[in-house]
Structure 1
Amino acid sequence: MSNPSVVQLKPFLQPFPYGREGMESWAAQFALATPSLKADVDKDGGIKSSQPYGELWCGGTHKNGPCYVEGRDETLKGLIQRDAGFYLGKKLLNDEQMASQYPSDLPFLFKILSFDKPLPLQCHPDKGLGKRLFQEEKRREGENSNFVDTNAKPEVGVALSPFTAFVGFRPIEQLAAIVKGVPELQGLFQESTLSTLYSTASSSPSDDQSKAVLRSLFYEAINATPSKFKPLTKRLSDRVAKEGADTVFGAANAFTPKGKANASGESEAQAMARVFDISVKTYGEDDVGSIVALVLMNILRLQKGEGAWILADDLHAYVEGDIIECMVRRLAPAASRSRAHSPLVPSAQANSDNMVAHGLGESEMGGISTFVEMLSYRHLPAEQLLLEYEDKWSKGQRGLTRRYKVPIAEFDLLATTLTSVSESTETLSPLDGPLTFIVTNGSVKVTAGGDSVSLTKGQCGFVRAEVEIQLEGNGELWGAFYQ
């Protein structure tokens, strides 16, 4: 069997419960673009209007959702491992970190997310904590189902449509002003904790002092009993509906994010009211995450092409949007290795995520005490949480490619936009490692090493390492690659 330099992939549709329903979901729309996946969906009765479709895994080798080579009964992992040197390249194979953690395999998982309700309030452990949680679960349960490896799990999300996310804690001065201005939020905390918050915020605190206060606030809020937070949630919802966002949350408007961290142009009060309404309508008044995220966390509102970088141990919860997401590859949980996984049956995401979570639809995943202890309590202004990028990247020879500067070793991202007028072709100089990609608009012909695939909106592909890549067409291509 020949070793093609570029292939079309059959992605994997994941109907996670937070996804947009039916054909409203970009994941569902894109899934139908690949003939073999469309055939699978049609056998199951087609895309169902009332079923959520959260993710399309369009470039990965995860056992819970492996990509296949379109037209072949072969997984992407199988293709790579037939000739790892040819597909992965010398640099990736000789990288000691990559070789030990992802032997002869891709080090990342590349996908589309399409959702209109909040994901769980969550974080992923860093390498040290990940190892301890892995060992403790194995000792306690006899096998690992939640913490399935010891690697850190940082991730990146880049908007394809207007995107809202909770990311990190608010700066303490901002938090103090908001809490002081909203009596319902004060009810989550002890008087002594509030007093410490106000005094610390007014005293030019050190980073460690701010983090200590944030830890106390999060501890009290996330441990609040339903009898405490449900009445607060209801009173706050009723008051926003009656009095309006800028009356209830007006103290927050002095801290409305600047520039690209607020593409929607909303005031901070309007954003708070909107995400609170979405959260409560989705999960009801008995989910503590709705009020915890509202009071403590930054709300990013990004436009297409803007992204956020989520560090290990960062608190986050995506709210709504369509995004490119790429993350360090996770191993499949032990329980899933022994059975086939249907791409058309809704399932929980947590098992594959090395995730600790509580609230916004999740209950005590990994333990609340672990959640409190593991967080970084990073507290930057929203505008400082965006992913940097470089337009007219030097490896795009015609200046039509953007590279996203992802600050870890496993992957970077790129985006190429072609038009049918004067900018219909781009040539990418050879990359050190492989590229997985998806066409999100129009059509693009991809040529590498004498092989070509012509792909349309929603279709995915893979290009081997160390080969020049020629792009031609009228469309948009997004990819993840090792470099």
Structure 2
Amino acid sequence: MASSSQLPSVVQLKPFLQPFPYGREGMDSWAAQYALATPSLKAGVEKDGGIKASQPYGEIWLGSTHQNGPCEVEGKEGESLKDLIQKDPRFYLGEKLLNDQQMASQYPNDLPYLFKVLSFDKPLPLQCHPDKTLGGKLMDEEKRKLGKNSDFVDSNAKPEVGVALSPFTAFVGFRPPEQLAATLRGTPELQQMFKDSTLESFYQVASSSPSDDQAKAALRSLFHEAINLPKSKVKSIVQALQARFKKDSADVVFAAANEFTPQGEANASGETEATAMKRVFEIGLKTYGEEDVGVLASLALMNILRLRAGEGTWILADDLHAYVEGDIIECMANSDNMVAHGLGTSEQGGISTFVEMLSYRHLPAEKLLVSHDDVWSKSENGYARLYNVPIAEFDLLAIFLSTGRNFERLSPLDGPLCFVVTQGEVTVSTGDDSVTLTKGQAGFVKAGTEVKFTREGEAPTQVWGAFYQ
């Protein structure tokens, strides 16, 4: 173990570029742009032929020790962020994290979170992330069946938060039963997804002020039938909706849904619910075709969030979701597990598992937002925002600097900080150590040290970070 006096307290990181198929293509992708900002990553990309105009680049992992996309220390070829932490876990991770029994058992001597930017103009898979118990079971089953793990390479749960950097649309959770019942009653095409008896049972439950368990059981019945629709049935319903749109506007086809148009930041676009439903329907259809069951299941059953930059949403283990389009900061527990079916993904983890594992959370869209505090005790000058993340593994912060707001100092954080510059240029200082980074570049700061962020040049500066506390 190296002496802590010889170890840097802040370093620049080499991110890991992920060319996932839902990403924006070529240099339209923020992930691709950010990849070229870091010299060693840019050199690797150029050696491989450069950023390709027709290649989608879905994500760039900016603070990761996960085996599926590990970050390295910039300027230290071959040294991963995990290698750096292992030189002195107490120095880098801090006493509180190492003494946290939950964190120590799930992420021994490791980051408890995974920090990313996503950039996409095609829907992500209709998905959820298993809790730790199911994650371990799926991992074991895959290993027995295939002799190795490919889809399930860790057993950790994967709760997450996504915060918009540009206008962001997302399916998150089920509509509340009352809203869903009205929408289905008013849309004959969507009724065709379900048996008449299932619909009648659901309508009875929805109209009776159901308990949480009753509502979840009714939603489970609907989802079971929706996700198991044969491709031929999906196609016929999709074509019926297309035929309606040739005659009627969205506000006619989905008129019943308009009564439940989200208010405030959950609908920052200002669209009616019907307009948003038609838009996401057409995006999914254009990308994945008339037989993708996720196109219908998400449209019929789920909340549609329309967020502006700076607003975010939270996803817990076993919550149904599918992001649609946007550029976002995403942070999650240190895991890469997913059970999915539809919106471009064939069955992963098993459809029956998908149905059984879901939480069937059914909050209204307005209650799915992550709140934030612009007055934070750790912030000396008041230029740092703290997001109130309901997840044990991490919290999120954003720092905004501009003319007259040239620096921010944070008092010591309990755990390690991973961060990315999304605008401008900034010098990040911790005692005698400092790094100067520009847009798209990422860094790591040890636990328990005061951190100063100083704006360089005239441009406004934004820094986003994830940390444990």
Structure 1 equivalent of residue 199 of structure 2: 194
Q: Which amino acid aligns with 1:123?
A: C
The question of whether the paired residues in 1 share the 8 Å contact of 2:238 and 2:296 is answered with: yes
State the identity as a percent: 70
Structure 2 equivalent of residue 334 of structure 1: none
Structure 2 equivalent of residue 338 of structure 1: none
Matches within 5 A, 1:239-254: 239-254=244-259
- CA deviation string 1:313-352 (max 9, x = no partner): 100000000000011112xxxxxxxxxxxxxxxxxxxxxx
The yes-or-no answer on 1:170 pairing with 2:152 is: no
The question of whether the paired residues in 2 share the 8 Å contact of 1:237 and 1:277 is answered with: no
Using the alignment, how far apart are the partners of 1:88 and 1:77 within structure 2?
11
Taking structure 2 as the reference length, the TM-score comes to 0.96
The yes-or-no answer on 1:431 pairing with 2:413 is: yes
How far did residue 140 of structure 1 move? 3.4
How far did residue 150 of structure 1 move? 2.4
Matches within 5 A, 1:74-93: 74-93=79-98
Query: Per the alignment, do residues 103 and 288 of structure 1 end up closer, same or farther by CA in structure 2, a change over 3 Å counting?
Result: same
Point out the more displaced range, 294-303 or 33-42. 33-42
Structure 1 equivalent of residue 133 of structure 2: 128
How far did residue 425 of structure 1 move? 0.8
How far did residue 136 of structure 1 move? 2.9
- CA deviation string 1:73-107 (max 9, x = no partner): 22111111112121111111222222222121111
Matches within 5 A, 1:46-85: 46-73=50-77, 74-85=79-90
Structure 2 equivalent of residue 362 of structure 1: 345
How far did residue 141 of structure 1 move? 3.4
Matches within 5 A, 1:221-370: 221-330=226-335, 353-370=336-353
- CA deviation string 1:335-386 (max 9, x = no partner): xxxxxxxxxxxxxxxxxx3211100011111111111111111111000011
1:165 partner SS: strand
Structure 2 equivalent of residue 343 of structure 1: none
How far did residue 241 of structure 1 move? 4.0
Structure 1 equivalent of residue 441 of structure 2: 459
- CA deviation string 1:44-77 (max 9, x = no partner): 2211111000001111111222111111122111
Point out the more displaced range, 404-413 or 52-61. 404-413
1:275 partner SS: helix
Using the alignment, how far apart are the partners of 2:364 and 2:42 within structure 1?
43
> Which consecutive residues of structure 2, in runs of 5 or more, have no partner in the other structure?
none
Point out the more displaced range, 111-120 or 75-84. 75-84
Using the alignment, how far apart are the partners of 1:75 and 1:30 within structure 2?
19
Q: 2:162 aligns with which of 145, 154, 157?
A: 157
Structure 2 equivalent of residue 346 of structure 1: none
Q: 1:374 aligns with which of 353, 357, 369?
A: 357
Using the alignment, how far apart are the partners of 1:482 and 1:296 within structure 2?
34
Using the alignment, how far apart are the partners of 1:72 and 1:327 within structure 2?
26
Structure 2 equivalent of residue 333 of structure 1: none
Query: Per the alignment, do residues 190 and 434 of structure 1 end up closer, same or farther by CA in structure 2, a change over 3 Å counting?
Result: same
Q: Which amino acid aligns with 1:83?
A: D
Structure 2 equivalent of residue 21 of structure 1: 25
- CA deviation string 1:284-312 (max 9, x = no partner): 00101001100000000011111111011
Q: Which amino acid aligns with 2:414?
A: D
How far did residue 237 of structure 1 move? 2.1
The question of whether the paired residues in 1 share the 8 Å contact of 2:29 and 2:56 is answered with: yes
How far did residue 128 of structure 1 move? 2.5
Taking structure 1 as the reference length, the TM-score comes to 0.93
How far did residue 147 of structure 1 move? 2.5
Q: 1:441 aligns with which of 406, 419, 423?
A: 423
The question of whether the paired residues in 1 share the 8 Å contact of 2:169 and 2:307 is answered with: yes
How far did residue 449 of structure 1 move? 2.2
Structure 1 equivalent of residue 379 of structure 2: 396
Point out the more displaced range, 73-82 or 93-102. 93-102
Using the alignment, how far apart are the partners of 1:81 and 1:205 within structure 2?
51
Using the alignment, how far apart are the partners of 1:418 and 1:237 within structure 2?
48
> Which consecutive residues of structure 1, in runs of 5 or more, have no partner in the other structure?
331-352
Q: 1:4 aligns with which of 5, 8, 28?
A: 8
Structure 2 equivalent of residue 415 of structure 1: 398
Question: Superposition RMSD on alpha carbons, in Å?
Answer: 1.2
Query: Per the alignment, do residues 48 and 141 of structure 1 end up closer, same or farther by CA in structure 2, a change over 3 Å counting?
Result: closer
Using the alignment, how far apart are the partners of 1:136 and 1:36 within structure 2?
38
- CA deviation string 1:104-162 (max 9, x = no partner): 11111100000000000000111232233233333333333322232211111010000
- CA deviation string 1:432-476 (max 9, x = no partner): 111000000011110002111111111101111111001110400
Structure 1 equivalent of residue 41 of structure 2: 37
The question of whether the paired residues in 1 share the 8 Å contact of 2:232 and 2:291 is answered with: no
Using the alignment, how far apart are the partners of 1:354 and 1:178 within structure 2?
32
1:452 partner SS: strand
How far did residue 197 of structure 1 move? 1.9
The question of whether the paired residues in 2 share the 8 Å contact of 1:86 and 1:464 is answered with: yes
Using the alignment, how far apart are the partners of 1:78 and 1:262 within structure 2?
43
Q: What is the aligned residue count?
A: 460
2:370 partner SS: coil
Q: Which amino acid aligns with 1:423?
A: R
Structure 2 equivalent of residue 383 of structure 1: 366
The question of whether the paired residues in 2 share the 8 Å contact of 1:189 and 1:217 is answered with: yes
- CA deviation string 1:204-250 (max 9, x = no partner): 22212111111111111111111212111111023224312111111
